[in-house]
Amino acid sequence: MSLRSKVLPCLFGACALGVAGCATHYHPHYGHGPVVSDVSVMYIRSAPPPPRRIRIPPRPSAAAVWINGYWNWTGLTFVWVEGVWEPHPRSRRWEPDRWVHTDRGWYRRPGHWK
């Protein structure tokens, strides 16, 4: 087996990993925008941290409504999902995301349009 046949696959693999790393960015404490959540309810023992206080960016249009950020549970820890400006559907209102405490623990009730 020649040196070239050994080096080229390694070089190709390293380039592919480098490109994949540029395409995504992961931060353990932040997410962006509304997260589509599963319909199932997962109870956890600990309460989420208090909501973060942030400076809301300028409204992109008169038809936009601010959707607050929230703490999401990953199964291991809470991660903050940033708020976003969303187009406001006519004759609907945003029901905010919230955490609910019950005898079984805490669960997240995702925000949605009503």
Taking the C-alpha atoms of residue 2 and residue 89, their distance in angstroms, rounded to an integer, is 63
Instruction: Please state the rounded mean pLDDT for residues 56-80.
Output: 94
54, 56, 95, 89: CA torsion to nearest 10: -160
pTM of the model: 0.62
Q: What is the pLDDT of residue 72?
A: 94
Residue 103 has pLDDT above 70, yes or no: yes
User: What whole-number distance in Å separates Cα of residue 110 and Cα of residue 95?
Assistant: 9
Residue 31 predicted with pLDDT over 50? no
Q: Which range, of 45-49, 77-81, 88-92, averages the lowest pLDDT?
A: 88-92
10: confidence class by pLDDT, cuts 50, 70, 90: low
DSSP state of 91: T
Q: How many CB atoms lie within 10 A of CB 97?
A: 22
* pLDDT of 29 strictly over 90: no
What average pLDDT score do residues 73-95 get? Answer: 93
Three-class SS state of 96: coil
The arithmetic mean of pLDDT across residues 5-11, rounded, is 55
d(Cα 50, Cα 102) in Å, to the nearest integer? 18
What are the tokens at 71? Answer: 């703490």
pLDDT computed for residue 3 by the predictor = 55
